[in-house]
């Protein structure tokens, strides 16, 4: 560990060795003037990721888990080892840039009630990615899938948040920003707690931001810099399984923060929309897209069943 680091960069990895090495390189290249520590938690990779990090970056603290513990629990491991007041969560398939680092650091430094900050994200081809969101409701995701939200002005009907940037390039009205590149204030985490480990994958970042917002902290988006995110490098390795985790985590989020009725409304709305889109694509345009939505519906039904069974087991 670095002595008195000003920033801790925390990276969770699963079988993305080459991208992970690029990610760590980008961190050191983007933060040459400050004392930074990097903590990597490897979730039982089989591609030599842990050994590669130890060899290429002996100054990095690396942990090798015997099993894949999931994203949130691995982040908690890294946070427990980090020692700086600011913690940057960075996906292993993301690359930090000097502009993104400066923008994020300034955002938290200048806004004492900002508990978490995210920046713009682009893919490897330079295309803008969406990473600012409104909290999940029983129906906003279904409405957005039907392309109805452009006609509905209220943010309560939208899943995607369109940032409204002020003169400082900030929007601090965001509900949540995904953790592919998210800087957290340690004092805020000490108040609301770390990631909820019931979320194996997905929604753990939304849940954390929900608790931060509820406690009076702001979630800020800065447009003053962008990081690069390839996206899906780990999750596409087991796409069907990850879809089940994705939907199950959303259901757990609704049960935790909005109650049982919201869970059931969400279930009915999503089944209806996924089924309708699958049939529509198959009949009118693309059998491939139709099969994609059929796969999504199958994963959703598996997730719904697993969450229902878990709830019954807890109540019995």
224 and 249 both lie in a single domain: no
177 and 291 both lie in a single domain: no
DSSP 68-103: ---HHHHHHHHHHH--SSEEEEE-TTEE--HHHHHH
* CATH code at position 164: 3.90.550.10
pLDDT at res. 234: 58
Integer angstrom CA distances of residue 245 from 105, 137, 238, 307: 32, 18, 11, 10
172 and 71 both lie in a single domain: yes
| Beta pairing class for 36-42 and 7-13 | parallel
pLDDT at res. 4: 81
pLDDT at res. 233: 60
Final residue before a domain boundary, out of 229, 258, 292: 229
User: Structural domain of residue 154, as residue ranges?
Assistant: 7-229
Q: Along the chain (316 residues), what's the average pLDDT of each consecutive run of 10 residues?
A: 82 96 98 95 97 98 96 97 96 97 96 97 94 96 86 82 94 97 98 96 97 98 96 68 95 96 96 95 92 96 94 80
Separation CA 303–CA 271 (nearest Å): 11
Separation CA 110–CA 232 (nearest Å): 33
């Amino acid at each position: 560990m670095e002595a008195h680091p000003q920033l801790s960069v925390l990276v969770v990895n699963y079988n993305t060795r080459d991208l992970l090495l690029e990610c760590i390189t980008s961190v050191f290249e983007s933060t040459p003037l400050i004392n930074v520590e990097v903590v990597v938690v490897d979730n039982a990779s089989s591609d030599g990721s842990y050994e590669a990090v130890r060899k290429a970056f002996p100054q990095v603290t690396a942990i090798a888990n015997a099993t894949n513990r999931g994203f949130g629990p691995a982040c908690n491991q890294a946070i427990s080892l980090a020692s700086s007041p600011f913690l940057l969560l960075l996906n292993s398939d993301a690359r930090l840039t000097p502009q993104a680092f400066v923008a994020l650091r300034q955002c938290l430094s200048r806004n004492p009630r900002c508990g978490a900050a995210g920046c713009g994200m682009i893919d490897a081809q330079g295309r803008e990615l969406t990473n600012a969101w409104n909290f999940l409701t029983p129906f906003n995701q279904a409405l957005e899938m039907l392309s109805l939200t452009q006609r509905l002005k209220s943010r309560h009907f939208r899943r995607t948040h369109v940032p409204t940037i002020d003169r400082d390039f900030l929007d601090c009205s965001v509900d949540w920003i995904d953790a592919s590149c998210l800087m957290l204030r340690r004092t805020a985490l000490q108040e609301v707690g770390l990631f909820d480990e019931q979320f194996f994958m997905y929604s753990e970042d939304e849940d954390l931001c929900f608790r931060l917002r509820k406690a009076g902290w702001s979630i800020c988006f800065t447009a003053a810099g962008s990081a690069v995110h390839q996206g899906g490098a780990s999750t596409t390795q087991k796409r069907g399984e990850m879809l089940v985790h994705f939907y199950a985590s959303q259901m757990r989020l609704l049960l935790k923060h909005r109650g049982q009725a919201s869970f059931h409304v969400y279930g009915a709305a999503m089944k209806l929309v996924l089924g309708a889109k699958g049939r529509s694509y198959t009949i009118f345009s693309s059998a491939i897209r139709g099969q994609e939505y059929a796969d999504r519906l199958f994963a959703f039904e598996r997730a719904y069943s697993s969450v229902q069974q878990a709830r019954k087991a807890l109540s019995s």
